[in-house]
Amino acid sequence: MLAAGTALVSAMATDAWLQARTATVAMWRRIRPDHADGVEAELDVLRTQVLAAREADDEDTEQALAGAWRMHFQQFLADDPGLAAELRLLLDDHLGPVLSETERNRVASVVMTAATHDNSRVYMSGRDQHITGA
């Protein structure tokens, strides 16, 4: 679900930003109405920062801003794990669709599950994996 933070920041630099912002604030109004106005104001400031970072080709700043929103969403889920469905809905129905294919691939989340028995080993990777040795 941390992909939602990256997707939100990526959506800030698109023409569909108002749609993504509206959906994000609407989610907050449903689940944490007392924080919604603050989130709305924070998103407006954050968009200005993201646009400035993109204009300056400053990927470090953009990644830091995405990291801050990943932390927001992580805390959100830590406080109430049952809200994962709300966050998934926001990502799948509102943030993801406004991104370019390249951006969607960049923020895609990978969920892996493994079960081991006895002395078995599991090697999992979201990308390349090189295993050497016995």
Break the chain into its structural domains and give their ranges: 3-107
Across the chain, what does the average pLDDT equal?
A: 86
Cβ atoms of residues 37 and 109 within 8 Å: no
pLDDT bracket for residue 34 (50, 70, 90): very high
Cβ atoms of residues 81 and 89 within 8 Å: no
Burial 116-129 (b: 16+ CB within 10 A, else e): eeeeeeeeeeeeee
CA distances from 103 to 13, 34, 47, 100, 108 (A): 11, 31, 16, 5, 9
Q: What is the pLDDT of residue 123?
A: 80
As a whole number of angstroms, the distance between CA 72 and CA 5 comes to: 8
Q: What's the whole-model pTM score?
A: 0.72
Q: What is the pLDDT of residue 113?
A: 73
pLDDT bracket for residue 22 (50, 70, 90): very high
The H-assigned helical ranges of 1-134 are 3-11, 17-31, 36-55, 59-79, 84-89, 101-107
Tokens for 58, please give them.
Answer: 């400053």
Q: What is the pLDDT of residue 1?
A: 59
